[in-house]
Chain A
Amino acid sequence: FSRRRERAARGLGAGGAMEFRLEAHRIVSISLGKIYSARGQRGGLKLHKNLLVSLVLRSARRVYLGEPGGECALPPRPGPPPPPDCERLRRGCRPLASEAAARGRPECPAESPRKRSAAERDPAAGYPGKKPRRETEQPPPQEDMETGNVASLISIFGSGFSGLLGKERGAAEATEPGQVCCEQPVLRSLNPWSTAIVAF
């Protein structure tokens, strides 16, 4: 086990921010490899495992690209106070111990409509976008597992990868996401998605 890598995953050590992003990049690559290799698995796609992998992928990607919400994946650092709980919940983070008392409030101002609609409808259920289901016989046998949505997840991240090539300059520089400013001619010629495929 690489100690340095493990500490980076926890956000400790010198040059913590840079190690974070390197670690995040590595986790993104590993996760994509898992999703890709899961397609050929015997027994069909394992929904539970692939969901967990996609959640890790999302967190790591947020940290790597420096997007808001990326901090949810990391332990708290001293600095500005944590955002109000509505903000955290909007980012999809789990409520913290300090916010547990505030949990259960059905309404939050200025929320994105898609994620909040189900909670407003039925605070107890908490599952977005679910259609009501009457007592019925077994679901029609032709129902698809909809694993095709995993493929769309991959292509979404694939297009977002074009920005990753330009991040080698370091966290100090603020670069526009999506801007390709790679300095190594070899990498410039490779599609970022095929790089991930070749690695696995």
Chain B
Amino acid sequence: MEGESIYEVDSEDGVGADIISTVEFNHTGELLATGDKGGRVVIFQREPESKNEPYNQGEYNVYSTFQSHEPEFDYLKSLEIEEKINKIKWLPQQNAAHSLLSTNDKTIKLWKVTERDKRPEGYNLKDEEGKLKDLSTVTSLQVPVLKPMDLMVEVTPRRIFANGHTYHVNSISVNSDCETYMSADDLRINLWHLAITDRSFNIVDIKPANMEDLTEVITASEFHPHHCNLFVYSSSKGSLRLCDMRASALCDKHSKLFEEPEDPSNRSFFSEIISSVSDVKFSHSGRYMLTRDYLTVKVWDLNMETKPIETYQVHDYLRSKLCSLYENDCIFDKFECAWNGSDSVIMTGAYNNFFRMFDRNTKRDVTLEASRESSKPRAILKPRRVCVGGKRRKDDISVDSLDFTKKILHTAWHPTENIIAIAATNNLYIFQDKVNSEMH
């Protein structure tokens, strides 16, 4: 993998407002959106490849920046609502404009991104600055002409889906029907129509009558990529529920329950926490699901509910450190996971700005680091290794020197090419595999 571009989102105010909180490619990979803790969205666009400048081929540059959400205060409940962007999802492109959904803890917004590269000139009643002309000076009529102008990208809010959630929204997913989408909070999942903002349908509700009986919350959810009636949601207990909206209006009864029995030899006070699923993603084929819990990523076959078909250890050397990680809150970190375009490689982040890739076919894995030193343009990324005692090679890092404040929670993979976007705190890294650009 080559280091390609590094973007640092500058913050004007407040520490941490520019921490990237979500990363998402659109369906062609031409656009890449990031959201941050300060409620801002930055969209990058890939430069078209041209023979004239071969070295600038396929670079991502800033396309548009806008403020998506602002902090709000709910006076009724005396609660501040954070402006942090939890998730961004692109809609499939249906005309010249691009559309995306962005959400914070409570409100989902639909944004339309349009380009303007021409403007009309030669009005009869207005002059160049827009001031009304003195009518006595108008002696002939002209037809206004469209003249080229510098490209201007406009982003406008088209819909605001508010008041749908009592609890914190953790995920949104656009249906393959391109008309509906769902939003999930800790206890409920709602189905919305993209054109209707004043109502939504509740399709999952796991809130117990008595909150003291609460044992499980929803942690992530996603629609199936091809079957518009199917969706999956994950829980804090490590289970996945596949639901069919054709079965009933309220999908509290799952069609399939995916759960792996606990390994008794690994039990500890923190077994529950580390089994909580932080992310779930369908494969592009729709046949598999990828889940991330604190120490592993797992591949599940939709046809087998009893256990995952593959389990990969992300950083098993942390298993003996769980008490300390509980104390410093790191055990609550929610890592995301991603498939490559051909579903042959999976990727997830870790600590010390490391991220991991697992090749499902060769069973080989690699640890790479997103850092400025190792990511100069066109530099080759060097595989890293964490040593856990035993022989220590040069450049190995020991477990105790890992920096737990440098965590890679959000990663994204281009839908068709070997291009990945890695969010490391307030920096965005984009890496390209120029040698193996095509999917194999």
Residues of A within 8 A of B (CB): 1-2, 5-6, 9-10, 23-24, 27, 30, 34, 42-44, 46-49, 51-52, 55-56, 59-60, 63, 72-76, 92, 94-97, 99-100, 114, 122, 124-125, 127-139, 141-146, 149, 152-153
Asked if B5 is an interface residue, CB under 8 A from chain A, the answer is: no
Name B79's closest neighbour in chain A (CB-CB): A44
Q: What A residues does B170 contact at CB under 8 A?
A: 48
B166, B208, B236 interface centre (most CB from chain A within 10 Å) = B166
Q: What 8 pairs across the A-B complex have the smallest Cβ distances?
A: A43-B82, A135-B249, A129-B209, A97-B261, A44-B79, A100-B261, A149-B211, A146-B211
Residues of B within 8 A of A (CB): 76-77, 79-82, 84, 105, 163-164, 166-168, 170, 186-188, 190, 199-202, 205-217, 219, 236-237, 249-250, 252-254, 261-273, 276, 306, 320-324, 326-327, 329, 332, 400
Q: List 7 interface pairs A-B (beta carbons < 8 Å), by A numbering.
A: A27-B326, A42-B80, A43-B168, A52-B272, A56-B326, A74-B268, A133-B202
Name B84's closest neighbour in chain A (CB-CB): A43
In the complex where A6-B321, A48-B236, A75-B265 touch, is A42 in contact with B205 (Cβ < 8 A)? no
Contact of B163 among A27, A132, A141, A145 (CB under 8 A): A141
How far is B250's CA from A92's CA once the two chains are assembled, in angstroms? Answer: 26
In the complex where A47-B167, A99-B261, A149-B212 touch, is A10 in contact with B268 (Cβ < 8 A)? yes
Closest CB in chain A relative to B180 CB, distance in Å: 14
Contact of B213 among A27, A49, A129, A141 (CB under 8 A): A129
Q: What A residues does B327 contact at CB under 8 A?
A: 30
Closest CB in chain B relative to A127 CB, distance in Å: 5
B214, B269, B276 interface centre (most CB from chain A within 10 Å) = B269
Q: What A residues does B214 contact at CB under 8 A?
A: 51
Closest CB in chain B relative to A67 CB, distance in Å: 14
Q: What A residues does B208 contact at CB under 8 A?
A: 127-130
In the complex where A44-B79, A56-B269 touch, is A6 in contact with B323 (Cβ < 8 A)? yes
A60, A114, A127 interface centre (most CB from chain B within 10 Å) = A127
Q: What A residues does B207 contact at CB under 8 A?
A: 130
Q: What B residues does A5 contact at CB under 8 A?
A: 323-324
B199, B215, B321 interface centre (most CB from chain A within 10 Å) = B215
The interface residues of chain B, by DSSP majority, are classed as loop
Closest CB in chain A relative to B393 CB, distance in Å: 22
A94, A135, A143, A153 interface centre (most CB from chain B within 10 Å) = A94
Q: What B residues does A97 contact at CB under 8 A?
A: 261-264
How far is B324's CA from A137's CA once the two chains are assembled, in angstroms? Answer: 44
- A43–B332 touching, CB < 8 Å: no
- B267–A75 touching, CB < 8 Å: yes
Closest CB in chain A relative to B265 CB, distance in Å: 6
Contact of A9 among B163, B186, B268 (CB under 8 A): B268
Closest CB in chain A relative to B202 CB, distance in Å: 6
Name A8's closest neighbour in chain B (CB-CB): B323
Q: What A residues does B322 contact at CB under 8 A?
A: 6, 9
How far is B70's CA from A172's CA once the two chains are assembled, in angstroms? Answer: 58
- A60–B269 touching, CB < 8 Å: yes
Name A82's closest neighbour in chain B (CB-CB): B264
- B79–A10 touching, CB < 8 Å: no
| A-B contact sample (12 more), CB < 8 A, given A9-B322, A43-B79, A73-B271 | A1-B324, A6-B324, A10-B268, A43-B81, A48-B217, A49-B332, A92-B215, A94-B261, A129-B210, A138-B199, A145-B166, A149-B211
- A52–B273 touching, CB < 8 Å: yes
- B163–A47 touching, CB < 8 Å: no
- A75–B266 touching, CB < 8 Å: yes
Q: What B residues does A47 contact at CB under 8 A?
A: 167-168, 186-187, 217
Closest CB in chain B relative to A197 CB, distance in Å: 18
Q: What B residues does A131 contact at CB under 8 A?
A: 209
Q: What B residues does A23 contact at CB under 8 A?
A: 269, 323
- B164–A138 touching, CB < 8 Å: yes
- B168–A52 touching, CB < 8 Å: no
How far is B269's CA from A9's CA once the two chains are assembled, in angstroms? Answer: 7
Q: What A residues does B324 contact at CB under 8 A?
A: 1-2, 5-6
- B105–A127 touching, CB < 8 Å: no
How far is B73's CA from A42's CA once the two chains are assembled, in angstroms? Answer: 10
- A74–B217 touching, CB < 8 Å: no
Name B170's closest neighbour in chain A (CB-CB): A48
Contact of A76 among B188, B249, B265 (CB under 8 A): B265
Name B190's closest neighbour in chain A (CB-CB): A138
How far is B252's CA from A130's CA once the two chains are assembled, in angstroms? Answer: 10
In the complex where A135-B201, A135-B249 touch, is A130 in contact with B209 (Cβ < 8 A)? yes
